[in-house]
């Protein structure tokens, strides 16, 4: 669900400086939610509390861009399990979560470990605790919307967005869904895969990025890789910058660079004007339905938020 999307005029612009300030608050809050649960809150039993700060950190940019610049009222988002602190931080900033819950992560009656529609006190579109379900649930949501539209004539609108951890792609249910020809035609669906190479407390040794990309594409999905943000891109333009671009990315072994990927089923009708620019700070959602438009990647300093058609 989006902020005040209904009130946002169609030609509203996104001020990236403001968005970055919001992003810093989201990130700080998400880190603090986990820190407080583990280091500040009294823990007489000594039982491990848990929480995953790095897993939230890798989603702060994407989720800030979505919730504060791109989502509209009828969009629905499933949030990967380990990014629940980011969702709660955003809900708090939007006035949808009482401050007392910020210190209650993984406490009885407090914020759940993973996003829960039934047990969390703030708005959650999809429960995602069992990895893999959060990826596929929006597909079924989209199909349900189409059935309601076609059988009952009801106007159904909104995009179905899944924010997925890279280790979630280990789940077989995901590939059953990806291989289904029906799913490849759901233009209102967008998957954002966070290739942070984290899986619980281990580092994913081989991200197999190319293989995954090929698997999605073989099933008829459009894959957009989002890697460099504008700060790095600006460095590439400076003297010697091309050497930096050619340099191997730090950290992962060759051929396993962390990237964020956007996977989107090819729309039911032919995509028009699909032009995507890679950008690390936020992978904006695809337009709903057949008129697939580019994601929000690579925006200039100020960009115009375009109105979107809504249909089932
Ligand atoms: C069906 C199922 N199997 C295993 C788990 C345990 N589990 C929780 S999160 C996770 C994977 C985390 O990796 P990733 O999806 O990449 O998220 P990240 O930590 O990078 O945010 C696993 C295996 C689970 N929640 N559900
Ligand atoms: Mg991961």
Name which of 122, 138, 227 is nearest 178 in CA terms: 138
Residue 156 has pLDDT above 80, yes or no: yes
Asked if 293 contacts 306 with a C-beta cutoff of 8 angstroms, the reply is yes
Q: Which atom of ligand 1 is nearest to the CA of 165?
A: 15
Distance 7 CA to ligand 2 centre (A): 35
Ligand whose nearest atom lies closest to the CA of 81: 1
The residue whose CA has the least distance to atom 25 of ligand 1 is 130
Confidence check: pLDDT of 250 > 80: no
Per the DSSP assignment, residues forming a β-bridge with 226 are: 260
3-class secondary structure per residue, 69-98: HHCCCCCEEEECHHHHHHHHHHHHHCCCCC
pLDDT number for residue 57: 96
pLDDT above 90 coverage of the chain, percent: 62
d(CA 152, ligand 1 centre) in Å: 38
Whether pLDDT at 141 is above 90: yes
- What tens digit of pLDDT does each residue of 159-213 get? 999 999 999 999 999 999 999 998 989 999 999 999 998 888 778 776 677 889 9
| Residue 280: count of CB within 10 angstroms of its CB | 19
Mean pLDDT (the chain) is 81
Q: Is 168 in the pocket of ligand 1 (CB under 6 A)?
A: yes
What are the structural domains of the chain?
Answer: 15-72+83-117 (no CATH), 130-297 (3.40.50.970)
Does 165 contact ligand 1 (Cβ within 6 A)?
yes
Q: Residue 212 in 3-state DSSP?
A: helix
Nearest atom within ligand 1 for CA of residue 204: 16
Summarised one tens digit per residue, pLDDT across range 112-127 is 999 999 999 999 999 9
* Tally of CB atoms within 10 A around 150: 11
- Assess whether pLDDT exceeds 60 at residue 237: yes
166 Cβ below 6 A of ligand 1: yes
Distance 54 CA to ligand 2 centre (A): 9
Q: Which of 62-71, 200-209, 226-235, 262-271 has the lowest mean pLDDT?
A: 262-271
Nearest-CA residue for ligand 1 atom 9 is 200
Q: Is 82 in the pocket of ligand 1 (CB under 6 A)?
A: yes
Distances (CA, A) of 293 to 232, 262, 273, 284: 25, 13, 6, 10
Our answer on whether the CB atom of 134 is closer than 6 Å to any ligand 1 atom is: no
User: What is the reported pLDDT for 11?
Assistant: 57
Q: Percent of the chain having pLDDT more than 70?
A: 75
What count of other Cβ atoms lies within 10 Å of the Cβ of residue 13?
A: 13
Q: Mean pLDDT across the stretch 81-95?
A: 98
pLDDT digits (tens, 9 = 90+) for 43-63: 999 999 999 999 999 999 999
Mutate to test the pocket of ligand 1, among 51, 200, 201 (most ligand atoms within 8 A of CB): 200
Q: How confident is the model at residue 193, as a pLDDT?
A: 95
223 or 283: whose pLDDT is higher?
223
Torsion, Cα 146 151 154 157, to 10 degrees, reads: 0
pLDDT score for 254: 36
The pLDDT, as a whole number, for residue 14 is 87
Higher-scoring residue by pLDDT: 265, 250: 265
What's the whole-model pTM score?
A: 0.79
Of the CA atoms within 13 Å of residue 159, those in its CB half-sphere come to: 31
Which of 50, 54, 81 for mutating ligand 1's site (highest number of atoms within 8 Å of CB)? 81
């Amino acid at each position: 669900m989006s902020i005040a999307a209904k009130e946002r005029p169609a030609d509203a612009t996104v001020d990236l400086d403001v968005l970055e300030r919001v992003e810093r608050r989201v990130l700080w809050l998400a880190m603090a939610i986990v820190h407080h649960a583990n280091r500040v809150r009294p823990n007489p039993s000594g039982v491990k509390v848990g929480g995953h700060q790095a897993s939230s950190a890798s989603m702060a940019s994407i989720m800030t861009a979505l919730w504060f610049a791109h989502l509209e009222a009828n969009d629905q988002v499933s949030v990967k399990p380990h990014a629940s602190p980011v969702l709660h931080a955003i809900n708090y900033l939007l006035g949808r979560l009482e401050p007392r819950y910020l210190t209650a992560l993984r406490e009885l009656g407090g914020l759940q470990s993973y996003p829960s529609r039934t047990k969390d006190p703030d708005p959650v579109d999809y429960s995602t605790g069992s990895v893999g379900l959060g990826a596929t649930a929006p597909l079924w949501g989209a199909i349900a919307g189409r059935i309601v539209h076609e059988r009952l004539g009801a106007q159904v609108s909104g995009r179905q967005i899944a924010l997925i951890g890279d280790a979630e792609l280990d789940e077989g249910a995901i590939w059953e869904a990806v291989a289904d020809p029906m799913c490849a035609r759901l233009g209102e669906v967008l998957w954002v895969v966070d290739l942070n190479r984290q899986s619980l407390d281990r580092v994913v040794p081989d991200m197999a990025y190319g293989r995954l990309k090929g698997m999605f594409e073989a099933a008829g999905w459009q894959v957009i890789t989002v890697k460099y943000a504008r700060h790095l891109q600006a460095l590439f333009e400076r003297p010697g910058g091309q050497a930096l671009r050619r340099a191997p990315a730090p950290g992962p072994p060759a051929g396993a660079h962390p990237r964020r990927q956007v996977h989107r089923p090819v729309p039911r009708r032919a995509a028009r004007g699909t032009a995507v620019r890679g950008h690390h700070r936020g992978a904006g959602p695809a337009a709903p339905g057949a008129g697939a438009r580019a994601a929000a990647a690579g925006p200039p300093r100020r960009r115009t938020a375009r109105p979107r058609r809504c249909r089932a």
